[in-house]
Each structure stands twice: as C-alpha cells, then as structure tokens.
C-alpha cells in the first residue's frame, strides 16, 4: 500500500495523467485538492470511463469528470467508526477532512481489513470451433491453445481470480473432453468450476439458458478467446453504480477511409477531406448481466449476446457501455495468436496469485 498522498492531484491535472496515477498506485481512486489541501472532489476509474464515453479528450482537465460532492468524514475518530461507515455504504476509500474541509487523510478498505467476498459467477464461452485458427484447432479447441506456457482460458481464469472471483461456469461443445479433463472442478487452480454442455451450438447467450443454478446476483459472461488486463472489480463496480440491467465492454476502433471523402449540397462541392480517420466503439466480448436478463433468452435456440442486448434495449432496460483502455486482444486469427505469444511475457507475467 502506498501513501494516501500519492493519489492527490490538482484540478488542472489531465485525465491521462490521472489515469496513470490511478493505475500506478493500484488504489483505483484519486483526490482533487487545491494548493492549501482543500478537498475539491474525488475521481474513480468509473468517473474517468464515463467521461471518455461522453467524448472528453484525455487532455481534458480532471475537473470535468470529478465528483464534487464526495462522501467524507471528519478526521480524528476511531478506526472502528470509519470501518462501520465504509461497510454501511460499501466504500473502498473514505477521505477524512477537518471542519473547514482540508484533507487530512484517506482511509482505504484494505487498511481496515475489509474483505469483500466476491461470489459472482463468471461464465466463459469456450465451445467455439475456432475455424479461423485452423489447422491449429483441428486437434485442439481454441481456448486450450497455449499462449505462453498455459491455455488461453487458464490465463482468463487467473485474471479473474486475481480480483477475487473464483466461481466459474465453462460452456463447452467442440472437443469438450479436452477442456473438462484439464480443468476438472478447478480445485488445482483454487477455484470452483462447473460446466454447461451444449449438445448443439446455442451461441454466446443461448447457452445461458442451460444454467442449472441460476445466478442470484450480477454475473460475468466472457468469450474464451480473449486476453485482457481489464480490472474485473472495476467493471463490476461500474455495473452496480450505473444500476444497469446489463453492461457491455467496448473498445475504441479506428479505421481510415483510403480515399478523399467528398461533402456536397446537391451539385455544389462543400469540402474534400483526404483519407479521414474515423473512430467507433466496438464490442469487446466481455459482459455483465443481472439475473433478470436471463428471462429474455429463448430456450434451445441459437442466440448470440448482441441479440440479447438488442432485446434488452427494445424492452427499454438500462444497458451501459464500459470502455476498455487496458490491453485487449481477440485471438481470432493466426497472426493474433502469434501476437498473443509475443505479448504474454510482458503483459501476463503472473506471480503467485493469493486467495482472499
């Protein structure tokens, strides 16, 4: 744990600089103060992502996204008081201020030994054919291809475990025996693993209709061919804070039109823009669903996750987008697989992952 003063920033600090501080300190939080230590606001990872979705530039000042009315407590009380208040409000950090709102300290939940048990299920879709990776997938299912020294899906499981998520459901189909023999009940990895066995392919959402034990709280769904350094705890927090029925992770994608783009008004030429670059958000294959979303999935029919989200939108359910800014790679083609092996050492050099 670093000093709480490491997360202090000025209101003119840019969003990009704040992101670096939040990531470097691992506290997922920053406090905005003036030169006299007057508390102006606080910033979480979720605040930043919401600002990005609104189109704010990373060069914008943090004052554009900070929470100007954060929950605070007066400094100088006993630790058990702060512990109780944080538990009641499910806070991970609590600024302590003087009577005139000068920041005196920041208490973090792990300093008070507040262990938040994460029982949320993680459903991994690992039943695909992996046709674009043939001939590699002729004899082995794509999620079992080694990246570094372990199968892709094992790295995914370790990534979730690092944030305290240990309850997994693997949806299997193609060469399912290889996956089930390798992972079994997950005990050797320190997790719990159950299986959905698709007799026929039902799609990334349709397979959820086979869940025997329906989740009672928000749960993750993720494609089994992705490598990412996303903070899954932050993703769950974002989903809960926005009171969403469903959350979809999105990735910014740039593409360049290889021609000069013409704008006209009837016959009159208005402008020529040479080879413009366009940016869009695309589906990143990582989702969180509330249990009620399962009611919109048909039984026994092929049904992909984008179709479920369209249905939720049609029913006017609240659906949120969580922008990824971390490392992310979809291992869909042979060149992606080669890149994954190149990236693995520097991006996924897991040490010992401790149980909570």
Ranges of residues in the chain whose predicted pLDDT is under 70: 1-2, 80, 110-117, 130, 133, 332, 337, 345-356
Q: If you ran DSSP here, which 8-state letter would residue 14 be given? A: B
* Tokens describing residue 117: 């048990």
First to last CA, the chain: 16
Q: Check residue 265 and give its pLDDT.
A: 80
Residue identified by tokens 């992770």 is: 249
8 A C-beta contact, residue 164 and residue 116:
yes
Closest CA to 163 of 191, 186, 124, 193: 191
Q: Check residue 130 and give its pLDDT.
A: 63
Bridge-partner residues for 271, per DSSP?
A: 263
Bridge-partner residues for 74, per DSSP?
A: 97
Q: Check residue 34 and give its pLDDT.
A: 93
How far is Cα 298 from Cα 182, in angstroms, rounded to an integer? Answer: 31
Spell out where 266-353 has E strands. 268-274, 277-289, 319-323, 328-330
Cis peptide before 135 (omega within 30 of 0): yes
* Tokens describing residue 37: 């230590």
Bridge-partner residues for 95, per DSSP?
A: 106
How far is Cα 156 from Cα 229, in angstroms, rounded to an integer? Answer: 9
How far is Cα 183 from Cα 194, in angstroms, rounded to an integer? Answer: 10
Q: If you ran DSSP here, which 8-state letter would residue 211 be given? A: -
Tell me, rounded to whole angstroms, the distance of Cα 234 from its chain centroid.
6
Please tell me whether residue 107 adopts helix, strand or coil conformation: strand
How far is Cα 20 from Cα 22, in angstroms, rounded to an integer? Answer: 6
* Structural domains of the chain, with CATH: 4-112 (3.10.580.10), 121-347 (3.90.550.10)
For residue 334, the tally of other CB atoms under 10 A from its CB is 13
Q: Check residue 157 and give its pLDDT.
A: 93
Q: Check residue 167 and give its pLDDT.
A: 93
Closest CA to 122 of 150, 160, 154, 152: 160
Task: Give the count of alpha carbons within 13 A of 127, CB side only.
Answer: 21
Q: Check residue 356 and give its pLDDT.
A: 29
SS (HEC) of 82-102: HHHHHHHHCCCEEEEECCCCE
Q: Check residue 241 and give its pLDDT.
A: 87
Q: Check residue 9 and give its pLDDT.
A: 94
């Amino acid at each position: 744990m670093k000093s709480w003063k490491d997360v202090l920033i000025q209101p003119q600090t840019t969003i990009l600089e704040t992101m670096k501080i939040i990531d470097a300190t691992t506290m997922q939080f920053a406090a905005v103060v003036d030169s006299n230590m007057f508390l102006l606001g606080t910033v979480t990872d979720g605040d930043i992502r919401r600002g990005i979705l609104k189109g704010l530039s990373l060069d914008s000042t943090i004052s554009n996204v900070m929470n100007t009315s954060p929950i605070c407590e007066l400094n100088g009380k006993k630790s058990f008081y702060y512990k109780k208040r944080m538990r009641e409000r499910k806070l991970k950090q609590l600024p302590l201020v003087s009577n005139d709102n000068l920041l005196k300290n920041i208490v973090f939940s792990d300093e008070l030994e507040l262990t938040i048990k994460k029982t949320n299920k993680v459903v991994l879709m690992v039943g695909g054919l992996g046709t674009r990776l043939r001939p590699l997938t002729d004899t082995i299912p794509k999620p079992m291809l080694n990246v570094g020294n372990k199968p892709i899906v094992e790295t995914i499981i370790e990534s979730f475990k690092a944030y305290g998520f240990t309850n997994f459901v693997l949806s299997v189909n193609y060469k399912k025996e290889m996956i089930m023999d390798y992972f079994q009940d997950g005990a050797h990895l320190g997790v719990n693993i159950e299986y959905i066995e698709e007799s026929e392919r039902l799609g990334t959402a349709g397979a959820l209709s086979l869940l025997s034990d329906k989740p009672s709280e928000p749960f993750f769904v993720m494609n089994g061919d992705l490598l990412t350094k996303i903070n899954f705890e932050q993703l769950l927090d974002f989903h809960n804070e926005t009171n969403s029925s469903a959350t979809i992770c999105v990735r910014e994608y740039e593409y360049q039109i290889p021609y000069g783009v013409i704008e006209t008004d009837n016959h009159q030429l208005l402008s020529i823009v040479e080879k413009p670059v366009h940016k869009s958000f695309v589906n990143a294959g990582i989702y969180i669903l509330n249990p009620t979303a399962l009611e919109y999935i048909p039984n026994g029919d092929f049904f992909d996750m984008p179709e479920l989200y369209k249905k939720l939108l049609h029913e006017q359910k609240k659906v949120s987008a969580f922008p990824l800014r971390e490392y992310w790679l979809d291992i869909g083609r042979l060149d992606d697989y080669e890149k994954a092996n190149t990236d693995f050492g520097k991006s996924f050099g897991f040490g010992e992952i401790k149980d909570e």
